[in-house]
Chains A and B, each alone.
Chain A
Amino acid sequence: EDQVTQSPEALRLQEGESSSLNCSYTVSGLRGLFWYRQDPGKGPEFLFTLYSAGEEKEKERLKATLTKKESFLHITAPKPEDSATYLCAVSFITSGTYKYIFGTGTRLKVLA
């Protein structure tokens, strides 16, 4: 079954304490893996797209990496404003049709 799993469900970090969020997927025909950030009461905000194993993208304190089975979102020296839910999504082709499915997210809380 095509599936995207994120772990952990929730994460509490002290300000400055680096960590990683995981997104594993079981789809064939991957076309892209996407990371989004969602703040309470708002829609997801696009962060990165990764297309092939070994690819990396960076934005401020965030760095996303991709392997053949999973992606990591590394957060270096986080600040309280990094608190949000981080969602990953994958796009793939099945039966000649594009599909786009989301994981259930990791709720990150960064404490000052």
Chain B
Amino acid sequence: KAGVTQTPRYLIKTRGQQVTLSCSPISGHRSVSWYQQTPGQGLQFLFEYFSETQRNKGNFPGRFSGRQFSNSRSEMNVSTLELGDSALYLCASSAGTGVLYGYTFGSGTRLTVV
């Protein structure tokens, strides 16, 4: 059974650019959550999508957005990149009850903003 797939694994962008990250959840999982992980702040929740609808949102500026497609694949977009956006971006999938039974994470996309 394939796990959660995130692409690309590594990305280098220039300040002011925008970036799109992709996540394919485990087959059959309809919930996809996104997290930002940095050494200082740990894992910070960005947003969660379930059946193409945003179900929950963290405290991040509007430059961070996401969407989910009908096949449950999800994308996350960050516009007008700042140096502080450099982080590991993790995607997690669940069958819909991750808050009760836990999540399966991908290996992440390492974003470096220069």
Contacts and interface: CB of A to CB of B under 8 A. Distances in A.
A100 B105 contact: no
Given A41-B107, A43-B4, A105 B42 contact: yes
A32 B102 CA distance: 9
A46 B42 contact: no
B42 A102 contact: yes
Interface residues of A, number: 23
Given A102-B43, A103-B42, A46 B103 contact: yes
A21 interface: no
A43 B105 contact: yes
Contacts of B100: 31-32, 49, 91
B105 A45 contact: yes
A31 B100 CA distance: 7
Given A43-B90, A46-B102, A91-B99, A101 B107 contact: no
B56 interface: yes
A104 B102 CA distance: 17
B92 interface: yes
A73 interface: no
A104 B106 CA distance: 18
A34 interface: yes
B101 to A, nearest CB: 6
A8 interface: no
Pick the most buried of A42, A44, A103, A104: most chain B CB atoms within 10 A of its CB: A44
B102 A34 contact: yes
A44 B98 contact: no
Interface of A: 31-32, 34, 36, 41-46, 49, 87, 89, 91, 97-105
Interface of B: 4, 33, 35, 41-43, 45, 56, 90, 92, 98-108
Given A45-B105, A98-B56, A100-B33, 4 more contacts: A31-B99, A49-B102, A87-B42, A101-B45
